[in-house]
Amino acid sequence: MRLSVEASTDPADYQFTHAIRVRFAETDAMGVVHHAAYLPYLEEARVAYLRHLGHPYVTIQDEGIDFSVLECFVKYERPLRFDEVVDVHLDFASATRATFQVAYLLTVGDERVATAATVHGSVDREGRAARTPEWVQSLLGTMAEQTRG
């Protein structure tokens, strides 16, 4: 297991927030979001953050790199429901030469819905391990600083 980041429950610890409205297709008959639907929310927020930083994912791919998800952890606090707007807060929390970790906090208003963390491996076009771009190191935020002491 590579995952070593514990997601903060304080929105102020996160560098970026992306809002997503829960779609009907993501819910069950009671209007509750299926647990697997949270993973695309994390991905959408990551891709939006990279675009916001001037590194759209298509540009990263054009440079011959992909960021594969190696591990994922979600701690569910309360269910999301149809038509709620969930804020996905994220922070690039740690990085090595070939991997990096992202921490997430999902909230609706002031209410915590879930925390999560993902581990990503940098790979080349053939799927072999590759060096993580140096600019990823510059994304390390508040949680990385707390981890370093």
Catalytic annotation present for 28: yes
Token pair for 74: 């979600």
Active-site residue among 28, 83, 91, 124? 28
DSSP secondary structure of the chain: --------S-GGG-SEEEEEEPPGGGB-TTSBBPGGGHHHHHHHHHHHHHHHTT--HHHHHHTT-EEEEEEEEEEE-S--BTTPEEEEEEEEEEE-SSEEEEEEEEEETTEEEEEEEEEEEEE-TTS-B-PPPHHHHTTB-HHHHHHH-
Active site residues: 28
